[in-house]
Amino acid sequence: MLIAETAPSGSAEAAIALLCRTFDVSEREVRVIRAPYRICPLGAHVDHQYGTVVAKAIEHAIHLAYVPLETSEVRLVSDEFSGIANLDARAPQKMQPGAWDNYARGAIAALTARDIQPGGMLGASVGGRSRSGLSSSAAVGIAYLLALADGAGKTLSATDLVQLDKVIETEFLGLKNGILDPAAIVFAERGKVAEIDTRACTARLHESPEPLSFIAFHSGLAEPLTPANFNSRVEESLQAAQRLSEVAGLGLTAPRLGDVPAAVFDVHAAELTPLEQRRARHYFEEAARVQAGVGAWQAGDPARLGALMRDSARSSVENYEVGATPVRDLVDLLNATSGVYGARFSGAGFRGCCIALVERDAIADIVAEVHPAYGARHPQLAELSWVLDCGSADGAAREL
């Protein structure tokens, strides 16, 4: 089991080499976008309800090398998928089930809807590892948005990028996402954690007096995340918000749980169905954990932050009712291991990674203990697993 050697990372040099090898272009013409992955220590499953989240970008990233074209032709290659994608930036775009270029299609559609006519380009992406749970989908979407807008001579603000990526995810691909993923990727600053207001689309950045170390441990499970198994939880959360508004006489129109005061839930929880209670309880308890977590980060208190992450993992299983058995097992193993302050799913736990706040000097020992134990339960998945050392990074930007 090797740390970081099989990690989902790339480099500008590798992207440039792939682009030039595939399309026979000169390196002098090439531009490069870097879009990092992200981890979210706290704020699980609340962004679509206007909850506040805590996230940071990590060093591992997607790099997109590209050459703008004067035509509308868009030709793309990826180190993760076979074949060359051929698109027309001026043609209407539709999602193609199973197509690896859907995020490029979505980026073209999102920009066009904002009256930004994207230009053509030749592009090559490296570092992509879909279904990892570290928001590679948002990273690649943002990379395409930046490159296509650059080819059209347009500059996109951080807020523009967040909103446009949400269009890709929600309107083009049909997921009911909030803005956690793109906001974490574009607002990030190295060495800081972002406290993201998902209603206002703003972020406050916080430093810690002590360096805090995270790892991402991939379960090896890479089943596709379908809109149904994600969207159902969102709908149930919305139902809980609507019921609270009704029983408390708030009179809210299409409320989200972020529109409902926590005190209203405390008073009226018994009037919800058991399922609605669980979804609302997760939201309001997670909101409190986020605020406590910001304080723990600012105080440089990994024990406190880790305890909150453990509570978040428990609530994700018990109240939000997500997580496939292998990923649940992995987070339990991590939380039972010396040197781990706390671990939780990265995402909904239907696949992908667990993230853990760890003692820096204990990483090798943690991996040496957890990987065999996980392999005893899920040997085939353990063969596909990998571990990332999640160093901090700046947000998405053009590098070259």
Residue 9 pLDDT class (50, 70, 90 cuts): low
Q: Which of 394, 304, 375, 378 is nearest to 1 (CA)?
A: 375
Top-level class of domain 213-389: alpha beta
Residue 350 confidence (pLDDT): 87
Q: What is the mean pLDDT of residues 31-37?
A: 97
Assigned CATH for 12-207+394-398 = 3.30.230.10
Task: Take residue 347 and report the two structure tokens written for it.
Answer: 């995402």
Name the one residue in this structure whose structure tokens are 């909904």: 348
Q: What is the CA radius of gyration of the chain?
A: 21
Supply the mean pLDDT for the chain. Answer: 94
Residue 3 confidence (pLDDT): 54
Q: Which of 391, 354, 387 is nearest to 60 (CA)?
A: 391
Q: Are 221 and 381 contacting, i.e. CB atoms less than 8 angstroms apart?
A: yes
Q: Over 90: is that where the pLDDT of 100 sits?
A: yes
Name residue 290's amino acid.
V
Report the distance separating Cα 122 and Cα 201, nearest Å. Answer: 32
Residue 224 confidence (pLDDT): 60
Domain locations along the chain: 12-207+394-398, 213-389
Q: Over 90: is that where the pLDDT of 151 sits?
A: yes
Count of helix runs (H) and strand runs (E) in the chain: 12, 12
DSSP state of 142: H
Residue 32 confidence (pLDDT): 98
Residue 229 confidence (pLDDT): 74
At 328-369, the pLDDT tens digits run 999 999 999 999 999 999 988 888 999 999 999 999 999 999
Per DSSP, the residues of 168-210 read IIIIIS-----SHHHHHHHH--TTEEEEEETTTTEEEEEE-SS
Catalytic site includes residue 181:
yes
Q: Over 60: is that where the pLDDT of 1 sits?
A: no
Report the distance separating Cα 17 and Cα 327, nearest Å. Answer: 36
Residue 10 confidence (pLDDT): 73
Q: Over 90: is that where the pLDDT of 28 sits?
A: yes
Q: What is the mean pLDDT of residues 207-223?
A: 92
Backbone angles phi, psi at 91, to 5 degrees: -95, 150
At 155-177, the pLDDT tens digits run 999 999 999 999 999 999 998 88
The single residue of 181, 301, 311, 329 carrying the catalytic annotation is: 181
Please name the residue ranges forming H helices in 221-324.
Answer: 227-247, 262-268, 274-299, 302-318
Burial 69-79 (b: 16+ CB within 10 A, else e): eeebebbbbbb
Contacts of 215 (CB under 8 A, 6+ apart): 3, 355, 356, 358, 363, 366, 367, 387, 388, 389, 390
In terms of C-beta density within 10 A (0-12 exposed, 13-18 middle, 19 or more buried), how is residue 239 classed?
Answer: middle
Q: Over 70: is that where the pLDDT of 129 sits?
A: no
Q: What is the mean pLDDT of residues 387-397?
A: 95
At 45-64, the pLDDT tens digits run 999 999 999 999 999 999 99
Residue 225 pLDDT class (50, 70, 90 cuts): low
